[in-house]
Amino acid sequence: MCRWMGYRGQPLPIETLLYKTKHSLIEQSRHARLGVETFNGDGFGVGWYTDASDTPGVYRSLMPAWGDHNLQSLAAHVVSPLFLAHVRATTGTPVQNTNCHPFRYENWLFVHNGAIENFHDLRRELVLAIDPSLYNVMEGSTDSETMFCLALTFGLRDDPITALERMAGFVEETGRRHGVAHPLQMSLGVSDGERLFAVRYSSTRQSRTLFTSAEPQTLRALYPGHELVEIIQDEDRAVVSEPLGDLPGVWTEVPEATVLTIQDGPDEQRAFQPRSPALAGAA
Amino acid sequence: MCRWMGYRGQPLPIETLLYKTKHSLIEQSRHARLGVETFNGDGFGVGWYTDASDTPGVYRSLMPAWGDHNLQSLAAHVVSPLFLAHVRATTGTPVQNTNCHPFRYENWLFVHNGAIENFHDLRRELVLAIDPSLYNVMEGSTDSETMFCLALTFGLRDDPITALERMAGFVEETGRRHGVAHPLQMSLGVSDGERLFAVRYSSTRQSRTLFTSAEPQTLRALYPGHELVEIIQDEDRAVVSEPLGDLPGVWTEVPEATVLTIQDGPDEQRAFQPRSPALAGAA
Amino acid sequence: MCRWMGYRGQPLPIETLLYKTKHSLIEQSRHARLGVETFNGDGFGVGWYTDASDTPGVYRSLMPAWGDHNLQSLAAHVVSPLFLAHVRATTGTPVQNTNCHPFRYENWLFVHNGAIENFHDLRRELVLAIDPSLYNVMEGSTDSETMFCLALTFGLRDDPITALERMAGFVEETGRRHGVAHPLQMSLGVSDGERLFAVRYSSTRQSRTLFTSAEPQTLRALYPGHELVEIIQDEDRAVVSEPLGDLPGVWTEVPEATVLTIQDGPDEQRAFQPRSPALAGAA
Amino acid sequence: MCRWMGYRGQPLPIETLLYKTKHSLIEQSRHARLGVETFNGDGFGVGWYTDASDTPGVYRSLMPAWGDHNLQSLAAHVVSPLFLAHVRATTGTPVQNTNCHPFRYENWLFVHNGAIENFHDLRRELVLAIDPSLYNVMEGSTDSETMFCLALTFGLRDDPITALERMAGFVEETGRRHGVAHPLQMSLGVSDGERLFAVRYSSTRQSRTLFTSAEPQTLRALYPGHELVEIIQDEDRAVVSEPLGDLPGVWTEVPEATVLTIQDGPDEQRAFQPRSPALAGAA
């Protein structure tokens, strides 16, 4: 079982959320508290946006994250308004950097927790559906990267939520055609550098957990004087697969089959509904 | 430009050929002497057979090979009658273990020096031709691994040389259909654990170099008293993409468009002729 | 908290004990069951003896051991009558290969579970006591490697048990001089390629656990038909910091403050008594 | 033989000098042009200062630098007014991250090209001279890190140039006491985050090369319209062990036995004179 977190808000050193919270993602990679499997790291990754480059940065490593001095330096010096981090627990594909999340294409980043059931049987058919022009985007061998390339194929850059729904619909349809009852289990963090999309969905409707941070004003009321609470601003929002820290009221569970858009102005939340690619037309 | 070597003969500690010869493969990875590019390591790999396991062992690493203590220990302790080693210089695909040679499937090992011209354009079409049952064999993203899976698809396990010729024919045909004048450049080392196949071929008929060691009796006559020469036996044979050592008479160039079979009894050498997969029938 | 195991007996592929037992060391590196800390890997190492080389082989890596294909190949192909394996959980020193166990010098291997309390304060004084001729043996920065070099200084190669007792005495004396009440916590696995020494000792007399496998004849009586039990022979013995597997009667706890010598002929067990280096004479 | 570069000036993405110049340091790590040995990478490191943290960041890796995607991301996103980069070619000590430069202590960074002759014989005596409070700063095993800790011991934080001269004097004195005729060969890049010190010195007075970039106004006159020349400002200065690029007039050789201080206001250049630590008093 993987873990991930996303942040969008005022520019913060990445370390603020990666290392400096109780139950931070790095800490979680040592001691998981929720989740179906005992948890250990098969690779860590973080992707971030800054003004310095048009392309988001990505750091991925197989080193134990808690002892990775390179990551510590990077997390202390990169100040970013939008980043995604991920700790991987392989479901079978090789332990290598190109199988670590986030996956990147142009200005997009993508992290996934969950799995495509029986991926090995479905893999070839799913990969064949990827647009030939995107074929070489794939550098690894995971179900997650395949989902990302399918979402790109189905229009992620034009209409992100619809594309993610088509991707989910296509994976479910393909899986069921191969006799898989519940083909898809996922929480997703996806970004174009402006918006942060968070999806919770599974074919069983018993999806991996997903949480968002409460409104900063709520947090300040609940925890006046708390170090992190004091620095957050109204637009700051985090999404996490497992709560960072123990404080009641800080984390709100994202409902089943939901997609969240964290953006300038009010965030949006709506039902996530896999779409049949057949009905999807041009896809 | 990659470098590789293969050995078949009396069981030897792998280090004998990997470290202990002048211009050994490890030394070559620091100081190349022939070859079209200045040479540096983008990954090292060695595969070997022993009686201890039905599956050949494979060690692949991105560490500089000359400073890799794990490799030194392994090479000193693994005594093998048949092994293949490879130093990689990437032609563009990621620097990661799963892109390092040898590639392995069941009892087969495969190393390659060279390239498929315009591989990025041809990749999807080549991968689609891989037998679906072999699709998940691919863990990396190189042209070399694709060639291996195509050879498996075209019958490597039943008729190795024909399968390699079909693979070459299919790559050339696919390349030419895409307007690539000279699609294939290769020297190959392939083994099933019994025989060692060495191929030198390219569409331009100006292939990367390939050499075999002279007959042991010739070597003993030429270099009486030489340490390595003294220990070799009549059946011992090495194949290398670049000579190990400077001794005249030790290395014989494999002719253009040739496949060599090193085996119990007399070795065989014949012309290597790419075959049209269309004519190849069942492929 | 680290974990280690040692084996001495008929030559076995290392994988037999490393991967193929329930609660094998590799499996333990994911899911610890005993021990004071939640457990995760900060590095893995295995050292082994074979006839192929005078120097034991050592493989050390920071990769998650359960996904390390190099280690799997090595463990399948290296057949050894005596090996030591170790999973590290750092107590503060850097996560790097040269801080992974086993440490090696000439024909000796050394693994340690435990710690020198306040090592950072004592380190310089301990290192100064290492024989100058052994100073460059140290490549890393751990308390464990310092203990090994001290044991070598105090005569490990001539009288191993006495040297280990002097080392322990010297560490305790140095620690207490610096106001550390309980300076030493250790279980040790040490070998010269012939004998396997296992020590359980701590200043508090509440040492980390250590277990030995029962006599093969006992095991065969207890578990007739069990796969592993069937293949073991009378001289085969394993020592582990935590039992491999759940079978009652298989593992015997080594008593507090004890040193075990596993060797040809009857094994020996005696009290382990730290010695004052002052009384130790030449040390 | 190692290579290094330092930059001080307007904040630039590190990649500007690391990747985007002809003969950049990364490119040099593949194809060396000057230098006594054929050159290959045994480790890469970069250290940098930003406003985000009081401690400089350090990234060190054994991966081939030219294929290291983590480094590429970091170099594109970290914008720094002062950084030091280094490619290592080991002179014998292990290939590991903690032996890669830069070395860091508090706000100081240190890179070195060269060697202490017969370091293995002198190592213990040199290390003993390190202030005990700095003993644990050493995490690796190189001559370079020892030189850094000696310079710290001799007052680097108070009077940097004098401390470096004392360090050099102490190394030479120690070496000569052991019969080494020419104990020290070095070019150094050292920074406290404000100033960049560059030293060229060797006991033979035939030191490894060192170059500084010409005055920006000179460069603009020489190369009007050149991309990099256009963006540089009057205070921008680079120091390199080997010129980056071929343009005549861009690089000025630092004279033998010289120390350069690059700082706000006019830079300073003076003779570098090793000092006897005996005369150095407080050291």
Does the CA dihedral B49-B53-B54-B60 come out positive or negative?
negative
- What's the average model confidence in pLDDT over B87-106? 84
Residue C179: partners with Cβ closer than 8 Å, 6 or more residues away: none
Predicted local confidence at residue C109, as pLDDT: 98
Asked if the C-beta of B11 comes within 8 angstroms of chain D's C-beta atoms, the answer is no
List the beta strands (DSSP E) in B1-56.
3-13, 44-49
Predicted local confidence at residue A22, as pLDDT: 62
Using one digit for the tens of pLDDT, what is the confidence trace for B11-24?
999 998 888 766 56
Predicted local confidence at residue B60, as pLDDT: 94
- What's the average model confidence in pLDDT over B39-68? 86
Instruction: Please report all neighbours of D, defined by 3+ CB atom pairs within 8 A.
Output: A, B, C
- The pTM score is 0.89
Chain B neighbors of A45, CB-CB under 8 A: none
Using one digit for the tens of pLDDT, what is the confidence trace for C125-140?
999 999 999 999 998 8
Predicted local confidence at residue A27, as pLDDT: 62
Predicted local confidence at residue A160, as pLDDT: 98
Predicted local confidence at residue D278, as pLDDT: 62
Predicted local confidence at residue A247, as pLDDT: 72
- Under an 8 A CB cutoff, do A98 and B94 touch? yes
Which residue of chain D is at minimal alpha-carbon distance from B39? D30
Which residue of chain D is at minimal alpha-carbon distance from B42? D64
Predicted local confidence at residue A190, as pLDDT: 98
Residue A36: pLDDT band with limits 50, 70, 90: very low
Task: Give dist(CA A101, CA A93) in Å, integer.
Answer: 13
Task: Please state, for a pLDDT cut of 70, what percent of chain B lies above it.
Answer: 88
Using one digit for the tens of pLDDT, what is the confidence trace for A147-200?
999 999 999 999 999 999 999 999 999 999 999 999 999 999 999 999 999 999
Predicted local confidence at residue D225, as pLDDT: 74
Of the candidates A13, A50, A73, the beta carbon closest to that of D77 is on A50
HSE (CB half, 13 Å, CA atoms) of A226? Answer: 18
The catalytically annotated residue of B2, B26, B111, B232 is: B2
Q: What is the dihedral of CA C103, D121, D144, D71, to 10 degrees?
A: -40
pLDDT in tens, chain D (283 residues): 688 999 999 999 999 888 876 656 666 555 543 333 334 467 889 999 999 999 999 999 887 777 789 999 999 999 999 999 998 876 667 777 888 999 999 999 999 999 999 999 999 999 999 999 999 999 888 999 999 999 999 999 999 999 999 999 999 999 999 999 999 999 999 999 999 999 999 999 999 889 998 888 888 887 777 777 777 788 899 999 887 666 778 889 999 999 999 999 999 999 999 998 765 444 3
HSE (CB half, 13 Å, CA atoms) of C207? Answer: 27
Residue D24: partners with Cβ closer than 8 Å, 6 or more residues away: D17, D18, D244
State the complex-level ipTM. 0.88
> Which amino acid would we find at residue A218?
T
Task: Give dist(CA B261, CA B241) in Å, integer.
Answer: 16
- What's the average model confidence in pLDDT over A231-243? 85
- Under an 8 A CB cutoff, do A138 and B135 touch? no
Using one digit for the tens of pLDDT, what is the confidence trace for C54-105?
999 999 988 777 778 999 999 999 999 999 999 887 666 777 788 899 999 9
SS (H, E, C) chain D: CCEEEEEEEEEEECHHHHCCCCCCHHHHCCCCCCCCCCCCCCCEEEEEECCCCCCCEEEEECCCHHHCHHHHHHHHHCEEEEEEEEECCCCCCCCCHHHCCCEEECCEEEEEEEEECCHHHHHHHHHHCCCHHHHHHCCCCCHHHHHHHHHHHCCCCCCHHHHHHHHHHHHHHHHHHCCCCCCEEEEEEEECCCCEEEEEEECCCCCCCCEEECCHHHHHHHCCCCHHHHHCCCCCEEEECCCCCCCCCCEEECCCCEEEEECCCCCEEEECCCCCCCCCCCC
Chain C neighbors of B69, CB-CB under 8 A: 58, 60, 97
Residue C280 pLDDT > 70, yes or no?
no
For the ranges A258-267, B154-163, D20-29, the lowest mean pLDDT is seen at D20-29
Of the candidates C94, C124, C136, the beta carbon closest to that of D98 is on C94
> Residue D92, Cβ neighbours under 10 Å: how many?
12
By annotation, the residues of A acting in catalysis are 2
Contact B255, B270 (CB under 8 A): no
- Calculate the average pLDDT of chain A: 87
SS (H, E, C) C164-193: HHHHHHHHHHHHHHCCCCCCEEEEEEEECC
Does the CA dihedral A134-A135-A141-A142 come out positive or negative?
positive
Predicted local confidence at residue A37, as pLDDT: 37
Task: Please state, for a pLDDT cut of 90, what percent of chain C lies above it.
Answer: 61
Q: How close D75 comes to chain A (CA, Å)?
A: 9
Predicted local confidence at residue C276, as pLDDT: 85
- Under an 8 A CB cutoff, do C30 and A41 touch? no
Question: By C-alpha distance, which of C192, C21, C197, C8 is closest to C112?
Answer: C197
List the end-to-end C-alpha distance of chain D, in Å, as a whole number. 31
Which residue of chain D is at minimal alpha-carbon distance from B43? D64
- Under an 8 A CB cutoff, do C79 and B53 touch? no
Task: Give dist(CA C4, CA B278) in Å, integer.
Answer: 58
**Mutation target vs C (from A39, A69, A95; most C CBs, 10 A cutoff):** A95
Cis amide linkage into residue C102, ω under 30° from 0: yes
Task: Give dist(CA D187, CA D86) in Å, integer.
Answer: 12
Task: Please state, for a pLDDT cut of 90, what percent of chain A lies above it.
Answer: 61
User: What is residue B214's DSSP assignment?
Assistant: P
Using one digit for the tens of pLDDT, what is the confidence trace for C155-207?
999 999 999 999 999 999 999 999 999 999 999 999 999 999 999 999 999 99
Q: How close A281 comes to chain C (CA, Å)?
A: 41
- What's the average model confidence in pLDDT over C16-22? 78
Per the annotation, the verdict on C149 as an active-site residue is no
Instruction: Please report all neighbours of C, defined by 3+ CB atom pairs within 8 A.
Output: A, B, D
Using one digit for the tens of pLDDT, what is the confidence trace for C235-278?
899 999 887 666 778 889 999 999 999 999 999 999 999 998 76
- Under an 8 A CB cutoff, do D138 and C135 touch? no
Task: Let me know if C98 is exposed, middle or buried by CB neighbors in 10 A (0-12, 13-18, 19+).
Answer: buried
Predicted local confidence at residue D27, as pLDDT: 62
Asked if the C-beta of D266 comes within 8 angstroms of chain C's C-beta atoms, the answer is no
Asked if the C-beta of A58 comes within 8 angstroms of chain D's C-beta atoms, the answer is yes
Q: How close D85 comes to chain C (CA, Å)?
A: 21
> Which amino acid would we find at residue B269?
Q
